[in-house]
Amino acid sequence: MEMGKKDADLPPNQFSRDRAAFWKEWTHLQSSVGAHHQKVMEFFHNQTAYLLKLECMIIQQAAQLEKHKTKQKSAVNAVGVFLQREDSYREALKAALEALEEEKEKHVCQICMTKPRNILIMPCMHLLYCDECLRKHLNTSNLCPVCRGTMKTWIPCRFNLD
């Protein structure tokens, strides 16, 4: 249709043809816009569904990570408790070994500090020396190394430390 001309200025058949072409074009545009609108709506619907699935997956993974985090914390705490117990066991064992050494020292010869005491000196009743060290001492003196009393005799004896 030419610009500036009115409908009344056009011949009647030209007006009808232009009007029919316009309506045909208009309905085609409407249907194509409607189809395009439908496609856009489907696209947004699909994208929304996809985003919802992603959100669900992220929430599930976050929950799994939280479970793993909790398990890791529990494992770390268990290791810490184990190490604390191990330290306390180590301390107890160390104390027991020290007590055993002290007890062992009570029963070793006071001269050589290696062999067990096995000679009771009479009459002073000192039981502090092994047979070997007492024999060496008797080569130089017959006095008790502790009280300096005269050793009249000695008696071999054994401790049952078991």
Which of 15-19, 102-106, 121-125: highest mean pLDDT? 121-125
Amino acid found at 76: V
pLDDT at 122 over 70: yes
> Do 99 and 28 belong together in one domain?
yes
> Do 58 and 136 belong together in one domain?
no
> Do 96 and 74 belong together in one domain?
yes
d(CA 60, CA 54): 10
> Do 77 and 133 belong together in one domain?
no
> Do 137 and 101 belong together in one domain?
no
pLDDT band, very low/low/confident/very high, at 140 (cuts 50, 70, 90): very high
Q: How many CB atoms lie within 10 A of CB 97?
A: 10
- Average pLDDT, rounded, for the chain: 81
Q: Are 103 and 88 spatial neighbours (Cβ–Cβ below 8 Å)?
A: no
Q: Which domain holds residue 128?
A: 107-156
Number of structural domains in the chain: 2
pLDDT band, very low/low/confident/very high, at 58 (cuts 50, 70, 90): confident
Instruction: Note the Cα 77 to chain centre separation in Å.
Output: 6
